[in-house]
Structure 1
């Protein structure tokens, strides 16, 4: 109970700084501006699900990069062959290799060094020098030129870095405030744009490669017939015409110096004016002088924007692009041309957008449910521990303030699942206080004085608090490692909540309780409930009914497995991919007409879920055949159909998850659950005994199967949020088991000759109040979220409440019997080997 003055000073400084760091989150923007000089951090950044905006994940087309490099290699190879007067037609692309067939050995020897010179250096690998991006090998009379994996990886990395800069330039032209553009993994780019409700135009802006070129139109070729060599048939970008253009590039788009959107003074139609650099202007002048009267095609990403006839030579290096543009399309095109071409195509593989109305509703619901949950937990602590419960509540208030302060200091983004994590963290932070108060009560009943009861109570609770929090933390760390987006936000708030709860409970609450004991000169420390003295510990015999308990648990788990297959889980689009659109109207929706119009699109099964007093509907459409572009096209068709049916419709939320993302999310989610169980198994094995670890995993599997059955029975979306609930429930369940196991380990050392079944009964009776009270506190924090939190956290809150109930009952009724069975099986196994063994410390007696 002794704490140095320096340590107390550090605690005070931490708390004061935490309060100041959290202060910006409750100040108005004007007040923040007024006190900006001495506020240490900015307020917590709100996620897109709280303030509205768009979220896009783009992937660099590695196959396109490989193809482009192979075509360049083919051209360079043919050029090298011509230089040595060898037939260039002997070079061709076969799969991922450029193959050159040369029958004359002398010619092969002559051209081989030239082909090896085509390699481009690729960074530095290990301690060597620059590595080659191609591999040149001989195979009989053929020379094979293939790209190395290191070469492709290096090109992908450079393409992503270059694309990042180009995307920043393109986004800046749109004028989105505070965009987040960052690299994710090796070949992806995350773009988050607050306040942008409809990302359609931006998606086109970011996804366009913007490879622009100028070609002469071959008027002798019929565009509706197969094209001869040297001519390409290209479609029009704004019409249904086809154009026969020469394959040879007359002027490259790289020669453009500037591009601006404007209006034609004669027709008032939107146009894009462009200017060439010095070399481009000279080339443009030469072409227009030599080709007066011929059409000149301007091609962007394989489509002809316009093909005007050259009326007269253009000397100044200026031109304009006109067509059936809208003003917005002209702005986008000019932005594309100014920022330059992307080094490789970018594919939008994930798209999510949230309207500002839904975001403000989420903030309001998050605050209301948080306050309601906090009030229920505070009330429970006062009911259980009276005035001493108020000390615990002070710790809870500090816990919440420090969590918000640390989120702001780390620059974390707060999402709706993150708010759920804070609320759940409040419920679980109570566990340490319940453990401490229960221990103090036991020491007081055993006759200890006030200070001794306080000292021993904290010391005995300390190890249990550490063990239980570490097991919960292990699942949360894995959730952070394998989760994405809002799920990571939930994991961050949970991790911070767990760590901060240990600080507030073990230091702040301890110091406050000690101060009360010292100042009041208390001889005996009693912690009565609000209704008076707490009755003595119960003495139920749980082991007598173990067969009934295990039988019931097994029946529920087997039933849950059956439900998993029939009817199965209602997988969200996170796992199966597809499109989800939430739309709202001021009037009652005509669902039959909306369903008919959507089904007429022939986009597969359409599911409509009505809510919000018949004025809101959630539209779900299965994943479309093909790649990510087909998903985006289907989304636009759905929006058009909704607007036609409901003229005043507003889109509150849209989500598009392509097949690449959905497969990865499913794999990483289930991998996180598996790794969490392995981590917990190893930790309990390390801290206790092997049979405790195996017993915990066995009970955990029963808890998980029941929770999966709950998902199947209720039809709640099984998505990333559900995986978060499952991992949190795993941590909570093991937390519960560790508390029981810790008491058993303590009693094993104290009562070495007691029959193991009696020792289990005694241990469970000693901690049963803690198990029930902690589960009540956690459930109380979740109930408001489950009722009023909305669809975004519904698939988290209800399963968590169910999981808390299942975890608590399994800790009381299932964990002990399984441990008893394992113990007896081990003893029988040892006895059957023909010898008796002396039990080690901590090993249950037979």
Structure 2
């Protein structure tokens, strides 16, 4: 008869008990739920919204298990999928679609004593729980074209500052400049090397004109594509957070594509609307306190109201790049690159608006 030491039996019993405890959350089926969050992270979800949702559900005679506030979000648990769809429609009518996102979700029902030891249900992928799969492609050609147009404007500005006369124009994916003398062309070439080192330079002659052709190298094109895809990845991840999906997948695929998988999401239309919405970027000065009502516009900001001038300085069309950074005090900031035209407009407006907020 085989006999083992007592400690081996105890280790086996401990391992089985531990496995059983951490497997228990999987027997608790999740509740169908709706989740309400703000279109903007600055919007606070509070008791007022909770009261509106409760009143709307009671008015439509929709039974619900609970309605609570969690991490600036409102979570309503419902008994079945039919009630979930009805509750979503009633909540949207009560709160409106302008400032709030109402998403269908599955809320875990793991008991608190299990959650206290870090136990939770197994995260199911699309093959087990269903969900939404998106494959998006970033228009990198448009991003490169925008950057190239900005480079043309910048190069023209640099030539004017150095009093180098010539004709500069964009031809496809290259910048072509023509000059009357070889000396002017060489000066322009040196200026391009100093200010646009990522461009390759090719000198030539076209009749009586001396030509300079600037083209983006493969490394520069790859870098611009990576920046465009990275910016879209950050934007899409922020939008996925609005849906409140557990274990989402947002990752790059290939050179310009992004894969998004949202397990458990049942409302495909809402997910598509949130992920595909277009953001508008505008730069405006804060309105003066004595400004007339028709010269200013009100916007919700950090629980209050901010008044901005109606005149727009520049828009996202003049932004050619953005990256995270730190200021001189090591505080986080966003560094934005404007096109030559946008930079000139920004300089002209802000030099007369010192110490004003924008």
TM normalised by structure 1 equals 0.23
Structure ranking higher in helix proportion: 1
TM-score by length of 2: 0.49
Would you tell me which structure has more strand in proportion to its own residues?
A: 2
